[in-house]
Amino acid sequence: MPVDVDVVRTVEMPTRLIHGPGALGHLRQALGELGVARPLLVTDPGVAAAGIAERALQQLDETIVFGDVRPNPDIEVVDRGAELYRAEGCDGLVGLGGGSSMDTAKSIGVVVAQGGSIVDYEYGSTPVSRRIPPLVAVPTTAGTGSEVTLWAVITDHDRKIKFNVGGTPLIGPHVALIDPELMLGLPPAVTAATGMDALSHAIECYTCDYHQPFSDAVALQAIELVRDWLRRAVEDGSDLEARKHMAHAATLGGMAYGTESAGAAHAMSQSAGGVHDCPHGALTARVLGPVCEYNAPADPERYARIAQGLGVATGGLAPLDAALAGVEALDSLTDEVGIPTMEELGFSEDEIPMLARIAFEDPQTIGNPRKVAISDYEEIYRNAFSRGKR
Ligand SMILES: [Fe+2]
């Protein structure tokens, strides 16, 4: 059910944004202002290979590098990073990379601040109750918005799921250094998947039960930026202007999350992402159109507004027709930027009953604008499998 109008609500934004080409050059100063002398730099081999980690390290004196982050980071990597942090006497964190590196850095911060293992802090069990150590998040992709979200997503291989940690400003980065120059070398597939993830955050947070005017504003701006700049960033990865606007879209999409969750597309992609290791953004994009098609009748006006944001001429159309035209535009964008099919992402149709069940159990099902039963998820998955066939 939609949130009551007479309930007092909050907007939490604990992160200072430093953005623009060359923002990485402010890393040393940002850490100094936070009183960090010996940071743990959390990153991944791809960022190291691109020479970005080296550019960060050149500014810093005493830095311990934890470069073991892999896509879809798991419990083991977080707990190992926290051990290294303690053993080396670190006093702050730098999360340098895509959502995986930034989420790992946040999660290391939680374990360092509160002890135990990151699995103890799955949303709904032990609450995150202490502020993480000072964290500077430096995104190298434009998608997850993890540099400002109040969440981290961690994979549990035993349960074959991803779980959420956070939902509180205590886990938010202290500073986000958003430097579009770091994104210039990203290949088209990564640009497309991450850009569509940013769009999915905006669309889901604009339509979920938790939306409020402040998140609406940033979500709509993110949708329009993706509309105008994602194709260009995919076509020409060296287009700094496109990179800059997509970086902003990602951060705005992350801001739309707040302390709340998204909706059915993320319930599906986060649960399915624990089954087959595939890019989160691509998987979310592949289910997003079918989810919007399913949800539109529950709130045609909001989905019609999204259609406008995506560039659809909605004048004269009834709200539901406009909303469905928006879904078409979304599907076209998804295909144009080359998002893989469900099969290409590693899934097969005989997995649909299982995928539908775990999506239903994912906490982000609550808050979706239309009630979703397991059988509804099966239908949405069948539609997702039919999309993108060339
Ligand atoms: Fe996402």
Strands 64-66 and 92-97: unpaired
Mean pLDDT of the chain: 95
What residues have CB less than 8 Å from 272, skipping those under 6 apart? 283, 347, 355, 358, 359
Report pLDDT for 1.
46
d(C-alpha 274, C-alpha 359), whole Å:
11
Report pLDDT for 5.
57
Centroid of ligand 1 to alpha carbon of 204 (angstroms): 10
Residue 296 and residue 223 share a domain: yes
Centroid of ligand 1 to alpha carbon of 202 (angstroms): 10
Residue 136 and residue 63 share a domain: yes
Centroid of ligand 1 to alpha carbon of 314 (angstroms): 27
| 1 falls within a domain | no
Whether the CB-CB separation of 257 and 150 falls below 8 Å is answered with: yes
d(C-alpha 136, C-alpha 79), whole Å:
19
Report pLDDT for 4.
59
Residue 253 and residue 370 share a domain: yes
Centroid of ligand 1 to alpha carbon of 48 (angstroms): 24
Centroid of ligand 1 to alpha carbon of 285 (angstroms): 9
End-of-domain residue from the set 135, 151, 183: 183
Residue 192 and residue 177 share a domain: no
End-of-domain residue from the set 183, 202, 233: 183
104-143 burial, b at 16+ Cβ within 10 Å, e below that, comes to bbbbbbbbbbbeeebbebbbeeeebeebbbbbbbbbbbbb
Centroid of ligand 1 to alpha carbon of 56 (angstroms): 26
- Whether residue 76 is predicted with pLDDT greater than 70 in this model: the reply is yes
Centroid of ligand 1 to alpha carbon of 201 (angstroms): 6
Centroid of ligand 1 to alpha carbon of 270 (angstroms): 8
Whether the CB-CB separation of 346 and 276 falls below 8 Å is answered with: yes
Residue 243 and residue 371 share a domain: yes
- Whether residue 2 is predicted with pLDDT greater than 60 in this model: the reply is no
Reported as a pLDDT band with limits 50, 70 and 90, residue 265 is very high
| 9 falls within a domain | no
Q: What is the pTM of this model?
A: 0.95
Chain segment 95-139, per-residue pLDDT in tens: 999 999 999 999 999 999 999 999 999 999 999 999 999 999 999
Centroid of ligand 1 to alpha carbon of 99 (angstroms): 9
Chain segment 239-255, per-residue pLDDT in tens: 999 999 999 999 999 99
d(C-alpha 91, C-alpha 86), whole Å:
9
Range in 8-17, 73-82, 101-110, 283-292 with the lowest mean pLDDT: 8-17
Residue 227 and residue 155 share a domain: no
Query: What total of structural domains would you count in the chain?
Result: 2
| 335 falls within a domain | yes
- Residue 314 belongs to domain spanning: 188-386
Centroid of ligand 1 to alpha carbon of 39 (angstroms): 27
Residue 302 and residue 161 share a domain: no
- Whether residue 39 is predicted with pLDDT greater than 80 in this model: the reply is yes
Chain segment 202-223, per-residue pLDDT in tens: 999 999 999 999 999 999 999 9
CATH assignment at residue 361:
1.20.1090.10
Report pLDDT for 161.
86
| 210 falls within a domain | yes
User: Position 38: which residue type?
Assistant: R
User: Position 25: which residue type?
Assistant: G
Centroid of ligand 1 to alpha carbon of 226 (angstroms): 14
Reported as a pLDDT band with limits 50, 70 and 90, residue 261 is confident
Residue 354 and residue 205 share a domain: yes
Residue 205 and residue 166 share a domain: no
- Whether residue 53 is predicted with pLDDT greater than 60 in this model: the reply is yes
Residue 45 and residue 109 share a domain: yes
User: Position 319: which residue type?
Assistant: P
| 226 falls within a domain | yes
| 11 falls within a domain | no
Centroid of ligand 1 to alpha carbon of 60 (angstroms): 31
Report pLDDT for 6.
73
Q: Tokens in use for 159?
A: 């349960």
Range in 16-20, 89-93, 360-364 with the lowest mean pLDDT: 360-364
Centroid of ligand 1 to alpha carbon of 62 (angstroms): 33
CATH assignment at residue 137:
3.40.50.1970
What is the layout of strands, in order, in the sheet containing 16-19?
16-19, 175-178, 135-139, 92-97, 39-42, 64-66
End-of-domain residue from the set 183, 199, 216: 183
Centroid of ligand 1 to alpha carbon of 281 (angstroms): 6
Report pLDDT for 259.
81
| 316 falls within a domain | yes
Residue 198 and residue 162 share a domain: no
| Alpha-helix runs per DSSP H in the chain | 27-33, 45-49, 52-57, 75-87, 99-114, 188-207, 213-235, 240-257, 264-272, 280-295, 300-309, 319-336, 352-361, 374-386
Chain segment 132-162, per-residue pLDDT in tens: 999 999 999 999 999 999 999 999 999 888 8
Residue 209 and residue 109 share a domain: no
| 7 falls within a domain | no
